[in-house]
Amino acid sequence: TATLYVVATPIGNVTDITLRALHLLALADVVACEDTRKTGALLQRFGLGKQTIAAHMHNEREVADKIVERLQAGQRVALVSDAGTPAVSDPGARIVDAVRAAGLNVVPLPGPSAAVAALSASGLVNDRFHFVGFLPAKPKQRESALAALVRETSTLVLYEAPHRIVECVEGLTSVFEPTRQVVFARELSKMFEEVHRCPLGEALAWVKADQHRERGEFVVLVEGAPRATDAEDAEAERILQILLAECS
């Protein structure tokens, strides 16, 4: 059956492309991508002159139908985004959904993802994490989005657009306790890569200590709220049983 290949690409260092991604891109008849110039440059770098078609957030629905038609006509189609794993805080989900709805296959080619790279170098609890992605741009909405996460016990994973890190830290500082650990994973796999961990109370000073830090791509991780201990759980259960007995 016809298959759409969802191909992860580097988030900075081009040598992070996987061998399987290169092999598949070489075989593809067409590469659907967010930005044909950016992806064209990546493909050129590996000597691959490929047909590309634009598949971005503004045309995803229409292009999804075109991709289904191409797959049904027997073409091999690869889907990539500008960086990292497509369809994760990036366009692609609608295309994948349309391809599945048409009864066709979708195969992921795993590779770079900023969220997972940041988590892996953070030392924060990783057995559960809550992927928040991008917060709303407006301060009020951003703060209410954060307030809704205060009791979350999993590590929070946020993406931040370049130039907005100061607002992000201000929002975090106004909502979470200053003792929460935060990790800034900045410019991963690039020349000015930094992974910095500190209590939230020290975070704004760290960001402002070097003006370069106010730019660049960031993943921000926030330690989750303390989990209830077994003793607290047992106590809650005991009280619940008393209340239930009263009700019956």
Which residues fall within 8 angstroms of residue 100, CB to CB, at 6 or more apart? 106
205's tokens: 């000073």
Q: Which is nearer to ligand SAM, 76 or 215 (CB)?
A: 215
- Return d(Cα 135, Cα 94) in angstroms, integer: 21
User: What residues numbered 213-232 form the site for ligand SAM, per CB under 6 A?
Assistant: 217-219
Cβ contact 101:93 at 8 Å: no
Which of 33, 185, 203, 207 touches ligand SAM (CB under 6 A)? 185
User: Is residue 179 classed exposed, middle or buried when 0-12, 13-18 and 19+ CB atoms within 10 A define those classes?
Assistant: exposed
Which of 4, 5, 6, 12 touches ligand SAM (CB under 6 A)? 12
User: What residues numbered 130-149 form the site for ligand SAM, per CB under 6 A?
Assistant: none
- Return d(Cα 211, Cα 234) in angstroms, integer: 49
98's tokens: 């349309």
Which of 9, 113, 122, 181 touches ligand SAM (CB under 6 A)? 113
CB of 188 vs ligand SAM, minimal distance in Å: 3
Q: Is 83 in the site for ligand SAM (CB under 6 A)?
A: yes
Which of 18, 36, 75, 89 touches ligand SAM (CB under 6 A)? 89
Q: Is 160 in the site for ligand SAM (CB under 6 A)?
A: yes
Amino acid at 102: A
Q: What residues line the site for ligand SAM (CB under 6 A)?
A: 11-12, 81, 83-85, 88-90, 113-115, 159-161, 185-190, 217-219
